[in-house]
Structure 1
């Protein structure tokens, strides 16, 4: 059972997400909270996943995120927002969030996105993340060139893994798609993070998006690679 805490300043959003997620047989919303209540609720209920509103009037989502990330064994956190160009999203992703969800996400997709987060995947809407990155080019040309050079150092198989990682797949799911063992995928991911000089899967996914790797899918599996 995947344990979830929903944090939002609007009671209607909290109850709506709770109803949708509790309808899934493998997900339980163990608590809902406002920003001011969030840290205490997470500490009490120890969820696997926290869905955290990024903009709240009492305590904002970035403050809650930093507090949760500073504690040992933090849950996976995904930010909730109504805007795919929200300037705070990129800050949240670089502060340890595992992705972001738009509040108008289709109900039938919501449970699967929570499963993706719980299994170690990232949740980045390709359309939204492209818009976000266009709105926040954020880096000097020299840095972009350095990032492109790092991507060029990846092998074909590592690029395949990176594309699937950025699509939200867990190591096990990537292994299934590419006919690789989970341990092998884990080794590939570790090597990718080292070569790209990033601290986690979300940063790798953002770099892949910026490099244009997500415009096309991975190559067909080739066991000779």
Structure 2
């Protein structure tokens, strides 16, 4: 079984040790490093983890700066932000810069391990305490402009189905199960969605879907390919 390698980046030693204890106790997960912000990029480059849990607010190095640097690394790991507030004003910026979601530091232990597994499988995560208000409560979360709306309208019905499940944080395998498609077919659909929407991550696609009001169609039955 593949072991999910995790690096925890936080300025508080207590938070780092707590996450390490919880995750190392979970099957198939190993915390390979816990560091502060100043050491983060170097350790990620050295350890080549699958997942990085990154504090969004640190006194030595800003979490957004670390995120941008980590995302430029070859075979960059999945990054999720750690915060104490589910309406943290920096969360939306982090998501738009390629973070795959965010977790609250007081996330329940069993949820934490499952979130790490979801991230490693290519899904996105949001704290259970968060809601759509996160995406609507900050500047920049306004409705999509005409060009963005046109991109969304170029999606096929099946691509819209896939995108709406992406916004739920599902991995390609889980989306395939839900839509009775192979994981490979879902991967092809996700790649097409990225190209049409001109985004580079699942969370960016989800944010655009939100702004374009595509999620309002969630409860409408769809047919077609």
TM-score range for the pair, normalised by the shorter chain length? 0.7 to 0.9
1:112 alignment partner in structure 2:
114
1:168 alignment partner in structure 2:
169
Q: 1:63 aligns with which of 62, 65, 84?
A: 65
Question: Superposed, which structure 2 residues align to 1:81-120 within 5 Å?
Answer: 81-120=83-122
Question: Superposed, which structure 2 residues align to 1:7-156 within 5 Å?
Answer: 7-125=9-127, 128=130, 130-138=132-140, 143-156=144-157
TM-score (structure 1 length as normaliser): 0.88
In structure 2, what is the Cα distance between the partners aligned to 1:44 and 1:17? Answer: 20
* Residue 140 of structure 1: how far off its partner (Å): 6.5
* Residue 98 of structure 1: how far off its partner (Å): 1.5
Question: Superposed, which structure 2 residues align to 1:186-197 within 5 Å?
Answer: 186-197=187-198
Unaligned runs of 5+ in 1: none
Aligned residues: CA RMSD: 2.3
Helix, strand or coil at the partner of 2:90: helix
In structure 1, what is the Cα distance between the partners aligned to 2:221 and 2:175? Answer: 13
Instruction: Tell me if structure 2 keeps the 8 A contact 1:178–1:221.
Output: no
Instruction: Tell me if structure 1 keeps the 8 A contact 2:52–2:77.
Output: yes
Change (3 A) 1:43 1:211: same
In structure 1, what is the Cα distance between the partners aligned to 2:51 and 2:150? Answer: 35
Helix, strand or coil at the partner of 2:100: coil
1:209 alignment partner in structure 2:
210
Change (3 A) 1:26 1:139: closer
* Residue 180 of structure 1: how far off its partner (Å): 0.5
Q: Residues 48-85 of structure 1, C-alpha deviation per residue, up to 9 Å, x if partnerless?
A: 11100010111121121122122212211111011122
* Residue 91 of structure 1: how far off its partner (Å): 1.7
* Residue 139 of structure 1: how far off its partner (Å): 6.1
In structure 1, what is the Cα distance between the partners aligned to 2:213 and 2:104? Answer: 22
Unaligned runs of 5+ in 2: none
Instruction: Tell me if structure 1 keeps the 8 A contact 2:107–2:127.
Output: no
